Amino acid sequence: KQEVTQIPAALSVPEGENLVLNCSFTDSAIYNLQWFRQDPGKGLTSLLLIQSSQREQTSGRLNASLDKSSGRSTLYIAASQPGDSATYLCAVTKAAGNKLTFGGGTRVLVKP
Amino acid sequence: NAGVTQTPKFRILKIGQSMTLQCTQDMNHNYMYWYRQDPGMGLKLIYYSVGAGITDKGEVPNGYNVSRSTTEDFPLRLELAAPSQTSVYFCASRSPTAGLADNSPLHFGNGTRLTVT
């Protein structure tokens, strides 16, 4: 059974510092991995999707890497801003299936 | 473009009551999902549907039922509410790209916060 873990559960950084968020998964037979952002009282917004054949994806200040062999993905957010404060979740899609398995999320606070 | 719309936003139920959580999407997506999110936990899949008339169980289906009579709507039914069903419920949808069904991003509604007392 696939298990997805995100450590730490919470993170606080000063504005301007780079954010590094970790995601690990137990079964490397994944189809893709997605990173989501969740604001309080809201649904999830998809940030980046990395296909299993890719090593990384970039969008603006966000960069996500994927190392299937070690079961890890990292989301980098450059030059953090208070508006980046949110909970970030990763999720993997198993091979030949369309169901996502989510991690518990990392709650991020960027202090002005 | 409304995206994925969930109603109601909040609901309090007594044990044993029933209710239907509504979900509708206007993006003509084939795939729709129901998740529940408990505090500090990730999302767990309750039911999903790959198209009108087709539904399947997810990870935690007990105590719930779904139907998919149209592409747009995917209601979730709780027949006998229990305190263990206190949670935030999210509906999501996505459109399978031809040949790359699993590589399209999920679109989420804003959730329904349900309390069973």
Would you tell me how many other CB atoms lie within 10 Å of the CB of residue A54? 14
Q: Give the tens place of pLDDT for each residue, B36-70.
A: 999 877 899 999 998 899 999 998 999 999 999 99
Average pLDDT of span A39-60 = 92
Predicted local distance difference test score (pLDDT) of residue B41:
79
Q: Residue B84 has which token pair? A: 């263990």
Average pLDDT of span A79-101 = 87
Instruction: Measure A92 CA to nearest chain B CA, in Å.
Output: 10
pLDDT band of residue B102 (cuts 50, 70, 90) is low
Q: Kindly determine whether residue A89 and residue B108, on different chains, have CB atoms separated by under 8 Å.
A: no
Interface size between A and B, measured as CB pairs under 8 A: 61
pLDDT band of residue B18 (cuts 50, 70, 90) is very high
Q: Give the tens place of pLDDT for each residue, B70-92.
A: 999 999 999 999 999 999 999 99
Shortest CA distance from A31: residue in chain B: B102
Which of A30-39, B10-19, B87-96 shows the highest mean pLDDT? B10-19
Q: Does the beta carbon of B27 lie under 8 angstroms from any beta carbon of chain A? A: no
Instruction: Measure A32 CA to nearest chain B CA, in Å.
Output: 7
How far is the C-alpha of A46 from the C-alpha of A27, rounded, in Å? 22
Three-state DSSP class for residue A84: helix
The mean predicted confidence, pLDDT, of chain B is: 91
Shortest CA distance from B89: residue in chain A: A43
Please give the C-alpha separations between residue A88 and each of A9, A40, B11, B98, in angstroms, as whole numbers. Answer: 10, 11, 26, 29
Sign of the alpha-carbon dihedral angle for A62, A39, B27, B92: positive
Residue A61 contacts residue A79 (beta carbons within 8 Å): yes
